[in-house]
Chains A and B, each alone.
Chain A
Amino acid sequence: MTARPNTDMSLKQWTAVCPLDDIVPNSGVCALIGDGQVAVFRVSDDRVYALSNYDPFSNANVLSRGIVGDIKGELVVASPVYKQHFILATGQCIEDEAMKVASFSVRINNNIVEVEA
């Protein structure tokens, strides 16, 4: 599957994605890492999160275009297609326990966003 990021533990490495300023606070962008698509979100206080960009409900690569917010204190992104919420920290879907998207480690290094994938 071209759309899925590489989740093979043995191959994990940190990849520089973009300067932090390229992500408007409280929104996301999509990064191409290998063949995979990772949605990287910046929350207002410069915390960053990374999930798979693939929305399992619509089968489209769109999660990076969702609205970022919080539900009962938990940071989430809402799918722009059918509006399910995914927890930024874990990828868990709030509406459907059985649904979870892959999540990735992410850090800010010298103002550059890096993803471990």
Chain B
Amino acid sequence: MKTQKIVVIGNGMVGQRFLEQLTSRLSSDAIDVTVFCEEPRAAYDRVQLSSFFAGKSAMDLSVVPERFFQDKAITLRLNDPVISIDRAKKTVRSARYSEVHYDKLVLATGSYPFVPPIPGHDRRGCYVYRSIEDLEVIRAAAKKSRIGTVVGGGLLGLEAAKALKDLGLETHIVEFAPRLMAVQLDEAGGKLLQRKIEALGVTVHTAKSTREIVNGEAHAHRMVFADGSALDTDIIVYSAGIRPHDALARTTKLAVGERGGINIDGYCRTSDPDIYAVGECALWNGRIFGLVAPGYQMAEIAARHVAGDDSIRFGGADMSTKLKLMGIDVASLGDALDKTPGALNYLYTDPVQGIYKKLAVSADGKQLLGAILVGDATEYNDLLQMMLNAIPLPEHPEDLILPAREGGAKGLGVDMLPAAALICSCNSVTKGGICDAVVAGCTTIGALKKETKAGSTCGGCVPMVKQILDAELRKQGVEVKNHLCEHFPHSRQELFHLTRIGGLKTFDDILSKHGQGRGCDICKPAVASILASCWNEYVLKPKHAPLQDTNDRFLANMQKDGSYSIVPRVPGGEITPEKLIVLGAVAKKYQLYTKITGGQRIDLFGARVEQLPLIWRELVDAGFESGHAYGKALRTVKSCVGSTWCRYGVQDSVGMAINLENRYRGLRSPHKLKMGVSGCTRECAEAQGKDVGIIATEKGWNLYVCGNGGIKPRHADLLATGIDDATLVQYIDRFLMFYIRTGDRLQRTSTWLDNLEGGIDYVKKVVCEDSLDIAFELEADMQKLVDTYECEWKKAINDPESLKRFRHFVNSDAPDSNVVFVAERGQIRPARADEKDVEEDALV
């Protein structure tokens, strides 16, 4: 097959989705793709733009999979807008690139903000809200300003207002219509939203038409309104709607709509069949779709068509939306404004809680036409499914929006949904698609997200995906259970609770009360870990010792040949020359192989079991403690050198890392725990790849959680920003204890979070807002563990009972003759089988 040359103009969210869809269908041999992007960075999540001010970095917002362009061999031309298209020669010319030929051209140029043409609109200090660059300019300007005003009270306007508020400005919203979100909300809903927003300290001016902008007195600008009133402000941000970016299409004489937008057919083809348009620049049936989900649909349809698949056509899209604006839930579905003749309404208001709900139903009362939810949008998913799938309304439609009555089940069972029901509109995943994935073996939310992408963009559908997952598993006869093993009909979380509440102190107590049989290598270490997390008793007590995995049993890491490695604690990676010399001297004396670990410590390999206490006697005497490298426990707190030495550091990251490591040392948990502290945003400690990551800013610490390296790298999620030392420790106490209580056996924090219903927002509520009212308990439990910490090795070398276990033979002091080392690069390494046979033959 001949290589198809494909040029894509624009690398926003939709343009990127097109590339992903295209490259998943055609190999890089079949296509040669060039992408032009006028912004200086590849696609990022514009929907989450305001979180840029809430602490997210440009990197956090990226939607491009790592190494995507390299792996797919796509040429990406950033900062390089296309200036002309020659349809006759089938070439495009960009600002910085010579002509590029195309067989197929895709316009994903998006939209630009509409700036009302009022006199003075282009004064200095007037901005638009569209790209990260816009935000950076606004942020710089905000530093010198006190008052900020947003022109436009729609979705984007409210987002922009949130951004100004986050920047610490006195914030105003000026809206031309008589209410906020006039397209989505009715009078009552809009007014309630306004009240709630004003309660947050934002002033809303509705029904204001700006006549001109002139010099202000105390502030830079004065906005003069048609009714004669005026508002003084330092900066103005326009967010009064979008206009399709169709200039290229116009100059190249493609058909465009009267009010803008590039005409497309059901395959997203423009009037030139070799040119496609997708996303907000495209006009289908006279409509522009200014949401990301329909844009994603267009991207998929166009990619399929380029790849020769014409099975799917674009047929319009549902414009229902649900979002959280400044913490306020707002949703609008279908025909929310009763445009259908004869539409009837059900209304519910709770003026105390600030909740407004409205259903619009057909004249015969049988079908749901639309709905508005303000203040509480819990029913959004159910109502949306009911509307889109034309499921008949229940006998009492009002029950759908009334608070649940006692005993009355509420909402829509997922079983009622047809297989074609679209569950994740961001990624076009149907109920059938989710069920198929479950049948194919995805039995957790994490696996489903990975396989189907459902719930991986905005996350709104995750509760419904979970319901479908559980229902499907039940249908398959899979009992939805997460029993630890055959000995305990409980999950780890349940067992932890039973142990803690029941005050149970030994495995035998727990087994006789809550289990059966004798236990095994699954439940014994898990219970040992639970006991350690609850009561923190010495793990080598005779009643606990047989429960421990061999690493914990011998307080060292068993290697492939049965020898052990030793990792003393080096808090924060800071070590004196004296201590370094001790490590060197000990390694030399016992002929150990030494290697620097990834966690800024030194690992000493090749110790025989009977040597462990001898080596540790010397290490403890020199002031070393156990590093718990053998345990499902806190490992290290990695740090960069921080403000003490570094030119860029803004806080003492080493000092904080040492404090944290000394606080949480020895803490046992469902799996190992790693932490990192970086002294500035350059992030040299790679804290965002740790279970707990801390990054210093000038305003305090930013706390990230649930990152991971290893087999499945995961970027940590931001939990809190700009917090002081005390709050940092408080939040980490709560977070770790909450994970220890609820994690599954051998579940790292990253998978724990991926499977946690509600995700990071839920963790935030529990940790930062104490929504479960357990913060005090979590902190107290952690403090108890901190207060009862003992170095296990110091204890072991002073306990004759423990020491008896550290020998290879119960009846001889001889070493294990099968542990044999040979030399390599000036150190020892375990002998291979062929190298050992020589030795063995000699002995026989």
Contact = CB atoms under 8 A, between A and B. Distances in A.
Interface centre among B521, B805, B812 (most CB of A within 10 A): B521
A61 B562 contact: yes
A49 to B, nearest CB: 13
Contacts of B558: 62, 65, 80-81
A20 B117 CA distance: 94
A65 B554 contact: yes
A71 B524 CA distance: 13
Nearest to A78: B521
B518 A67 contact: no
A58 B558 CA distance: 12
B553 interface: yes
A69 B814 contact: no
A16 B811 CA distance: 9
Contacts of B549: 67, 80
Contacts of B811: 17-18, 31-32
A69 B519 contact: yes
Contact of A71 (B486, B545, B553): B486
Contact of B840 (A1, A18, A58): A1
A68 B816 contact: no
Interface in B530-572: 542, 545-547, 549-550, 553-554, 558, 560-562
B521 A67 contact: yes
Contacts of A99: none
B818 A2 contact: yes
B561 A60 contact: yes
A83 B551 CA distance: 13
B666 to A, nearest CB: 22
B844 A1 contact: yes
A67 B840 contact: no
Contacts of B521: 66-67, 69, 78, 83, 85
B520 A32 contact: no
A46 interface: no
Given A2-B840, A30-B810, A68 B562 contact: no
Contacts of B550: 62, 65-66, 80
Most buried by A among B486, B519, B811: B811
Contacts of B819: 61
Interface string A57-87: 0111110011111111101101011010100
A85 B520 CA distance: 10
B64 to A, nearest CB: 39
A43 B519 CA distance: 12
Contacts of B520: 67, 69-71, 76, 78
A76 B521 CA distance: 10
* Residue from the set A32, A44, A54, A75 with the largest chain B CB neighbour count within 10 Å: A32
A24 B542 contact: yes
Chief secondary structure at chain B's binding surface: loop
Contact of B560 (A60, A61, A70): A60
A102 interface: no
Contacts of B808: 30, 61
A43 B550 CA distance: 18
Given A65-B550, A78-B520, A78-B521, A22 B814 contact: no
Interface residues of A, number: 41
B518 A17 contact: no
A2 B545 contact: no
Contacts of A83: 521
A25 interface: yes
A43 B518 CA distance: 10
B140 interface: no
Contacts of A52: none
Given A60-B562, A62-B562, A80-B558, A17 B517 contact: no
A113 to B, nearest CB: 9
A27 B552 CA distance: 14
A90 interface: no
A3 interface: yes
Nearest to A68: B546
A80 B486 CA distance: 20
Contact of B518 (A3, A22, A30, A75): A75
A40 B811 CA distance: 11
A98 to B, nearest CB: 19
Interface string A9-47: 000000001100011111101111000010010011000
The CB with the most chain A CB atoms within 10 A, among B523, B550, B554, B804, is that of: B550
A66 B818 CA distance: 18
A3 B817 contact: yes
A69 B560 CA distance: 23
B833 interface: yes
Nearest to B836: A59
Contact of A69 (B524, B809, B816, B818): B524
B804 A22 contact: yes
A22 B810 CA distance: 8
B830 to A, nearest CB: 9
Nearest to A40: B810
B284 to A, nearest CB: 58
Contact of B525 (A29, A40, A54, A67): A67
B818 A60 contact: yes
B810 A58 contact: no
B809 A30 contact: yes
A24 B816 CA distance: 21
Interface string B802-843: 001100111110101111000000000000010000001001
B818 A17 contact: no
A23 B807 CA distance: 13
Contacts of B818: 2-3, 54, 59-61
Interface string B629-671: 0000000000000000000000000000000000000000000
Contacts of B560: 58, 60, 81
Contacts of A71: 486, 520
Contacts of B844: 1-2
A83 B520 CA distance: 11
Given A60-B560, A69-B520, A31 B542 contact: no
A71 B517 CA distance: 9
Contacts of B561: 58-60
Interface in B556-593: 558, 560-562
A65 B818 CA distance: 15
B258 to A, nearest CB: 71
Nearest to B817: A2
A24 to B, nearest CB: 5
A25 B541 CA distance: 12
Nearest to A26: B546
B143 to A, nearest CB: 58
Contacts of A69: 487, 517-521, 523-524
Contacts of B546: 24-27, 67-68
Contacts of A61: 562, 808, 816, 818-819
A85 to B, nearest CB: 8
B809 A32 contact: yes
B559 to A, nearest CB: 9
A67 B517 CA distance: 15
Given A24-B545, A26-B546, A70 B517 contact: yes
A44 B817 contact: no
Nearest to B542: A24
Interface string B606-626: 000000000000000000000
Contacts of B545: 24, 27
Interface of A: 1-3, 17-18, 22-27, 29-32, 37, 40, 43-44, 54, 58-62, 65-73, 75-76, 78, 80-81, 83, 85
16 contacts: A2-B840, A3-B840, A17-B811, A26-B546, A59-B833, A60-B560, A60-B561, A61-B808, A66-B521, A67-B520, A67-B547, A68-B546, A69-B521, A70-B519, A75-B518, A85-B521
Q: What 3 A-B pairs come out closest when comparing CB atoms?
A: A80-B550, A69-B520, A78-B521
Given A18-B810, A60-B818, A76-B520, 11 more contacts: A2-B817, A22-B804, A29-B809, A30-B808, A30-B809, A43-B518, A59-B561, A62-B562, A67-B525, A69-B519, A80-B550
